[in-house]
Amino acid sequence: MGAGKTSVGRALADLLQWEFVDLDDRIVARAGRSIADIFHQEGEPAFRRLESEELATLLAETETSRIVALGGGAFAQSANRELLRRHQVVFLDAPADDLFRRCSISEIARPLRQDRNQFRQLYEARRSAYMEAGTRVDTQDKTVAQVAAEVAARLELEG
């Protein structure tokens, strides 16, 4: 949460002139309600099932050049990591306190963002899974454009 997955994903897609897809947006469209509502009404396990199903559907679609932003917990699920093994995955990283601060100023409803201590624990619990991503990019003190350019360069991507 707060790493800039959607912002950087959009900027990177614009830079490369590729399609941008936000997995959370697809889940909301499929469910017909917000992620916060899904969490509140059915709980996190139901949301994770929807997330995995929608990721599998997305990856099974015709291959096009696109950037996909995953929710913060998507890559933490082993089944999702397995689905993504054949794809380039980037972990946008920053210190937990910076990520918490970014979430605090965002208007996005984040069901799993409670207090600073809980946020740090969640980040630490997920970090080992995140480190399985093929590429790690530190976002601390960088603009969205700088991070997008770094991702493109590190992955040797061209539009």
pLDDT band at 146 (very low <50, low <70, confident <90, very high): very high
Q: Can you read off the two tokens belonging to residue 80?
A: 């999702």
Q: Where are the beta strands (DSSP E) in the chain?
A: 19-22, 66-69, 90-93, 135-138
Residue 8's pLDDT is 96
Quick check: 84 and 133 in contact, CB under 8 A? no
Residue 51's pLDDT is 95
Tally Cβ neighbours within 10 Å of residue 9.
25
